[in-house]
Amino acid sequence: MSINVQLLKFSRQLRSSSTDAENLMWQLLRAKRFMNLKFRRQHVIKPYIVDFYCHEIGLVIELDGSLHGTDEAIEYDEERTKFLEALGLTVVRYWNHDVLGRTGVVLEDLWNLCLELKVNQ
């Protein structure tokens, strides 16, 4: 499977212009800090770029800001989720304000989901 060079360039660009929520989540997930799982950020899964991806348990984590609340964005996100789920991946979404303001709650939810995915492998 060949990787689209433009998508790869764009994913690198996204890594260098992360939101505060993405930066915080990356600090928590990187270097196997979370449940000893390897996460990648701004990872290409053609034709999309996902915020965080763990190949080992087939998990995609998306962080959403206020732009994701519009009808158009909700529809796009639903299509994207269906596509990723059709590949056998699990997609979980968190709002940026929850990642920043309710970090413990988000991490507890994520911990439980990862545990479930590890058990069901």
Per-domain residue ranges for the chain? 5-119
Position with higher pLDDT, 11 vs 112: 112
> What's the token pair of residue 9?
């360039």
DSSP string spanning 34-95? Answer: TTT---EEEEEETTEEEEEEETTTTEEEEEE-GGGGSHHHHHHHHHHHHHHHHTT-EEEEEE
Mean of all residue pLDDT scores within the chain: 91
What is the CATH code for 5-119? 3.40.960.10
Mapping DSSP to helix (H, G, I), strand (E, B) and coil, where does residue 29 land? Answer: helix
What average pLDDT score do residues 6-10 get? 79
33-68 tens-digit pLDDT? 999 999 999 999 989 999 999 999 999 999 998 776
Q: For residue 12, what pLDDT is reported?
A: 78
pTM above 0.85, yes or no: yes
